[in-house]
Amino acid sequence: MRLHKSLKKTLAAALSVLLLVMPLTGCSTNTGSDQKVPEKEAPMKEAENWAEQMNVITLKHDTEGMKSSSFDAELLQWLSEQTEGNYMASPLSFRYALGLLISGAEGETRAELLRALGVKDAQEWTDFCLRFNGFVQEFSENYQLELKQHRENVSRGWIPDDGSEPFWALRVANSVWRNEKLPEKFTEKYAEYVSKNYAAEYRSFLPENVAEKVNEWASIKTEKMIEKLLPDGYNADGLAVILMNALYFKDNWLHKFHREGTEEGDFHKADGTVVTKEFMHQMNHFSYYKDDATELVVLPMKGGVNMVFVLGDTKDLAEKISKADYRRVDVTIPKMDLETSFSQGEFADFLKAKGVSLAFDPEHADFSGMIGSRVWLSDIIQKTRIKLDEEGVEAAAVTALLMMGTGYDPNQPVEFRADRPFSFAIYTDLDGEMATMFAGRIVE
């Protein structure tokens, strides 16, 4: 089964970067707060085919080969410099979350974000996500055809009915969350835009339950790959809005590795030490490239997604993949189960390094296109996980943009009116014991 050639070219770079595991190597005018939309929370439910819920617009471009996204490349370079050891990140999940943010930005806040991200307008940023939505739909359709064919083969007795069926999945989920104590709701224009282009769900939270609710959403959307994005007891004082994306992927190798070929071997770490890992092995025809700085091999999967393994320099990766030759390759790669959490400001610092300042400024951030209350970007968290074995790959990412607000004060004083009978006391603390100097009661 083959995907549309031009669509594969357009999207292969994003998918390759999504699954690239790298060790350390060295639109709108101000709608105002008077326009509101009722927030209808869909019940939490088991993961399903979210592609069917999306407004899928497939924008096809005929290109010669692939080109790397400068945004993705710069993000991965930044993270490689900020991170020690193994890690995985999802530029694509970050893109979706930023799309939710840009859609609600106004004025110079919006202009600054667009300049930093290298696009002329919000629609250009959104179009990338829409093209990926189209790929999600095509991926799902191909899976349904594969499943149908499998069931027909079983019913005809051509293959044994062993109870197992092929399973691939590629799901994108977006959500926008509002603190229930905020006096304003999301503007109608923002709600309509992110619903149409991002299939965004609407959620609400209270400071005392935000970790529980966010973690539940992340777990459901990632098939329990990522069960805890926010720690227990997360301090949500002042938290007003959360913009979230979840990305889930599972696919099988087009050419599976045989388990009998898996054996332990030495992995040589960057510091020269050696550790033992389980290595899978197979010899087959794959796309392969090598120059003085880079050696890579591309392993295809059934749904049209590829995973590239790179030794050496990852610069101009998409171009090098395009130049790869299809040849017989003896491949040895380690099994993986890797979880990464970026929760120390790495993504926020990346945006700041690219010139984004107003979005983080409590006094000057303008997200009036999103909500009438004053809000600003305070932190960005991303967690990813990948499991890789002889059968294939399962990977997930959740990105959360956390926004503080001044539309409400969680610490504002409660009202106390002594306009009915009351008691009083004048006291002092004597080494932990209350010494009451005067006490009385007023009843009239």
Averaged over 36-56, what is the pLDDT? 45
Q: For 226-257, how does the pLDDT look when each residue is reduced to its tens digit (9 = 90+)? A: 999 998 888 888 999 999 999 999 989 999 99
Q: For 75-109, how does the pLDDT look when each residue is reduced to its tens digit (9 = 90+)? A: 888 988 888 888 888 999 999 999 999 999 999 99
Give residue 30's pLDDT band: very low, low, confident or very high (50, 70, 90): very low
**Range list for CATH 2.30.39.10 in the chain:** 259-334
Q: Is the pLDDT at 435 greater than 60, yes or no?
A: no
CB atoms within 10 A of CB 311: 11
Q: Is 423 exposed, middle or buried (0-12, 13-18, 19+ CB in 10 A)?
A: exposed
Q: Residue 213 has what pLDDT?
A: 95
Averaged over 119-137, what is the pLDDT? 89
Q: For 172-195, how does the pLDDT look when each residue is reduced to its tens digit (9 = 90+)? A: 999 999 999 898 899 999 999 999
> CA–CA separation, 149 vs 154, rounded Å?
9
**Range list for CATH 3.30.497.10 in the chain:** 5-249+339-405
Is domain 259-334 in CATH 2.40.320.10, yes or no?
Answer: no
Q: Is the pLDDT at 355 greater than 70, yes or no?
A: yes
Question: pLDDT over 90 for what percent of the chain?
Answer: 38
- CATH value of 5-249+339-405 in 3.30.70.1350, 3.20.20.140, 3.40.1390.30, 3.30.497.10: 3.30.497.10
DSSP conformation letters of 401-422: EEEEESSS-TTPPPP----S-E
Q: Residue 437 has what pLDDT?
A: 42
Averaged over 308-316, what is the pLDDT? 86
